[in-house]
Amino acid sequence: MTEKLEAVLKEDRVFEPSAAFKEAARLNDPAQYEAMYRQSLDDPEAFWGKVASELHWFKPWERVLEWQAPNARWFVGAQTNITYNALDRNLASRRTKAAIVFEGEPGDNQVLTYHDLHREVCKFANVLKGLGVKKGDRVTIYLPMIPEVAIAMLACARIGAIHSVVFGGFSASALADRIKDAQASVLVTADGGWRRGSVVPLKNNADEALAEAPSIKSVVVVRRTGEDISMQPGRDHWYHELMQNASDQCPAEPMDSEDPLFILYTSGSTGKPKGVLHTIGGYQTYTYLTAKYIFDLQEQDTYFCTADVGWITGHSYVVYGILLNGATTVMYEGAPNWPDPGRIWQLIDKHGVSILYTAPTAIRAFMKAGEQWPLKYRLSSLRLLGTVGEPINPEAWMWYYNVIGKGRCPIVDTWWQTETGGIMITTLPGVHAMKPGHAGKPFFGIAPEIVDSSGQPISNPDEGGHLIIRRPWPAMLRTVWGDPQRYVNQYWSQYPGNYFTGDGARRDAEGYYLIMGRVDDVLNVSGHRLGTMEVESALVSHPAVAESAVVGKPDPIKGEAIVAFVTLKAGHTNLEALKNELKAHVVKVIGAIARPDEIRFTDALPKTRSGKIMRRLLRQIAAGETDIKGDTSTLEDRSVVEKLKAGE
């Protein structure tokens, strides 16, 4: 952990939000934050009950919270529908306000008002019903970042179906695994999507996946790129044809607060990706409040989050949290640097974006491309910036602050996870001073703690430890789909009664948290989570590979790069061509995000006498360290390390 820390450039300055920002902000008084935070912990039921009553419930709750670790039930007995709150509730005062401003990669552009979005969602909800989808059924969504992805999610939620969005960059086999795990009956996809001027062949991938995933009975295909694709009669339907005759009347189904809203797959330290399950009432309440205060959403804002809806950031802060606040969300289909590195800045200029939420890896790539790109555009509409996905190095923070925010815009460095559903640690933009590299303070209702490996709290400022959360919060995951034991083991067993995040962190004397990164075998590549085991099992599924060990190596743009150490089966030789073949194989099995940056062939992997791969050594070797630190006494064969260092 300390090595990771040292890699973070130091920046000791503290930045206050500007007087102008503070004055207009929803929250701008540190004493008020303290009082609200204290109340949220002293009387969580009163606090969250009051927040929830800003939303619509068909039937009120009997109790705000029932907590029997590790099982939480929020707004017990209540009935609601998140689309009623995201859509219907906004019709009265925001009917003609833009809900979604869409920009395709080729530059095509579409605006859906709240009225339009409500109508399209109702229609597609009826389409799903027509295909036999019922409450509790799973619908897999494999779409590019086009309005239909939000329409499909909301249509599921409208009728109580559980959506499972699979990122469009995942391969056919990754899609098949996720469909099978969820036993989805309907797949919503597109003929293709635009990415860096080429077409991502979504329908072709889907066809390949469906050969292995027989639970899918119907496929709905959005026409996006006009690709020539094959349509299987009886199974495959065009979206626009089904929509043509669909009724636009579809009242929101009253759902129990604890009914599932969606499954989202994420990588863990062992085995296959897990289906994180979120439920309706708590998730809507928490994403509503976090979006409102952390992005300081106000009536005239145009908010733009660059994340894909295939990740939790897209669920909570492209779609749900933003629409729940009646705000305008910008959706962009393609790559941020296509056709040139100025694309994001051009979009901000074109649409008058006031709040930008993106990832450190993107900021570092923009930085590398040079400030001439943002300087070409008018960025004066911006008033608030956000970052998420991995620790931000102070150098990138300063660039974001000065070059993009011109020193005017506060930055919120938001720490959270797929499992947490919403932002957990951040500064509040009008309240707190910012410390580059530090995420900041806990949000309302969040009780973080830093503990040593025996679970003892670490109270010394700036001493690193494991980050745990002491109490339940409304948007916490409820289980791992189909594997309740994994839910308990993964999150609640290491520190019984507390949620274990898998991250290391430290806290300074003023209560600011600094996240140091994962302490398990999870990589963070360009803000995306990948299990080392996942990449390893993809590699060993290739006929030439005997064994592999995958580690991360610090990378100036991606945060971590993937280095795979591979031993070959007899008869295969260490050839450059085979390295490329193995990289392509991993892309085929998982998707381009998992492509190893480096493959290193070796005769043997460093193992302990009990046969455990010593990843710590491999991490040091991958990072090019010549002086291998730490205990190597358990190593079975010392010469393996010398050979690996020599690149043999």
- What does the binding site for ligand WT7 look like in residue numbers (CB under 6 A)? 266, 312-313, 388-391, 413-418, 439, 501-503, 515, 517-518, 524, 529
In the complex with ligand WT7, the residue whose CB is nearer, 4 or 22, is: 4
In the complex with ligand WT7, the residue whose CB is nearer, 188 or 439, is: 439
Residue 542 is assigned to a ligand binding site = yes
Q: Which residues contact 114 (CB under 8 A, 6 or more apart)?
A: 87, 90, 91, 94, 95, 96, 97, 99, 326
CB of residue 552 to ligand WT7, shortest distance in Å: 12
CA–CA distance, 203 with 84 (Å, rounded to integer): 31
Nearest of 343, 418, 348, 431 to residue 388 by alpha carbon: 418
Residue 313 is assigned to a ligand binding site = yes
In the complex with ligand WT7, the residue whose CB is nearer, 81 or 426, is: 426
Residue 306 is assigned to a ligand binding site = no
Residue 196 is assigned to a ligand binding site = yes
Q: What is the DSSP string of 350-401?
A: HHT--EEEE-HHHHHHHHHH-THHHHTS--TT--EEEEESSPPPHHHHHHII
In the complex with ligand WT7, the residue whose CB is nearer, 201 or 389, is: 389
CB of residue 359 to ligand WT7, shortest distance in Å: 8
In the complex with ligand WT7, the residue whose CB is nearer, 153 or 229, is: 153
CB of residue 420 to ligand WT7, shortest distance in Å: 7
CA–CA distance, 386 with 380 (Å, rounded to integer): 16
Residue 248 is assigned to a ligand binding site = no
Residue type, 325: N
Residue 540 is assigned to a ligand binding site = yes
CA–CA distance, 81 with 89 (Å, rounded to integer): 11
Residue 338 is assigned to a ligand binding site = no
CB of residue 419 to ligand WT7, shortest distance in Å: 7
Residue 208 is assigned to a ligand binding site = no
Residue 390 is assigned to a ligand binding site = yes
CA–CA distance, 606 with 494 (Å, rounded to integer): 27
CB of residue 145 to ligand WT7, shortest distance in Å: 16
Residue 546: phi and psi, rounded to 5, are -90, -50
Residue 418 is assigned to a ligand binding site = yes
Cβ atoms 130, 246 nearer than 8 A: yes
Structure tokens that stand for 396 in this block: 């990138």
CB of residue 443 to ligand WT7, shortest distance in Å: 12
CB of residue 302 to ligand WT7, shortest distance in Å: 22
CA–CA distance, 343 with 335 (Å, rounded to integer): 8
CB of residue 467 to ligand WT7, shortest distance in Å: 8
Residue type, 170: F
Residue 68 is assigned to a ligand binding site = no
CB of residue 307 to ligand WT7, shortest distance in Å: 7
In the complex with ligand WT7, the residue whose CB is nearer, 159 or 469, is: 469
Residue 163 is assigned to a ligand binding site = no
CB of residue 334 to ligand WT7, shortest distance in Å: 20
Q: What DSSP state is assigned to residue 13?
A: -
- Can you say how many angstroms the Cα of residue 627 is from the centroid of all Cα atoms in its chain? 36
In the complex with ligand WT7, the residue whose CB is nearer, 346 or 414, is: 414
In the complex with ligand WT7, the residue whose CB is nearer, 149 or 523, is: 523
**613 strand-pairing partners:** 607
Nearest of 307, 64, 274, 58 to residue 168 by alpha carbon: 307
Nearest of 553, 539, 551, 547 to residue 585 by alpha carbon: 539
Nearest of 446, 360, 464, 477 to residue 411 by alpha carbon: 360
Nearest of 81, 87, 84 to residue 100 by alpha carbon: 87
Q: Work out the angle at residue 294's Cα, subtended by the Cα atoms of residues 291 and 297, and round it to the nearest 5 degrees.
A: 60
In the complex with ligand WT7, the residue whose CB is nearer, 205 or 267, is: 267
Residue 417 is assigned to a ligand binding site = yes
Q: What is the DSSP string of 92-146?
A: HHHTTSEEEEEE-TTS-EEEEEHHHHHHHHHHHHHHHHHTT--TT-EEEEE--SS
In the complex with ligand WT7, the residue whose CB is nearer, 192 or 394, is: 394
In the complex with ligand WT7, the residue whose CB is nearer, 192 or 310, is: 310
Residue 529 is assigned to a ligand binding site = yes
CB of residue 2 to ligand WT7, shortest distance in Å: 16
Residue 545 is assigned to a ligand binding site = yes
CB of residue 606 to ligand WT7, shortest distance in Å: 26
In the complex with ligand WT7, the residue whose CB is nearer, 152 or 439, is: 439
Cβ atoms 386, 355 nearer than 8 A: yes
Q: What is the DSSP string of 521-542?
A: SEEEETTEEEEHHHHHHHHHTS
CB of residue 361 to ligand WT7, shortest distance in Å: 11
CA–CA distance, 560 with 552 (Å, rounded to integer): 5
3 state DSSP class of 466: strand
Residue 503 is assigned to a ligand binding site = yes
Residue 15: phi and psi, rounded to 5, are -115, 130
In the complex with ligand WT7, the residue whose CB is nearer, 415 or 495, is: 415
Edge-to-edge strand ranges of the sheet holding 513-518 = 448-451, 465-469, 499-507, 513-518
CA–CA distance, 214 with 211 (Å, rounded to integer): 7
Residues at the annotated binding site for CoA?
195-198, 313, 337, 526
Annotated binding site for ATP: 389-391, 413-418, 503, 518, 529
- Give the annotated binding-site residues for Mg(2+): 540, 542, 545
Binding residues: 195-198, 313, 337, 389-391, 413-418, 503, 518, 526, 529, 540, 542, 545
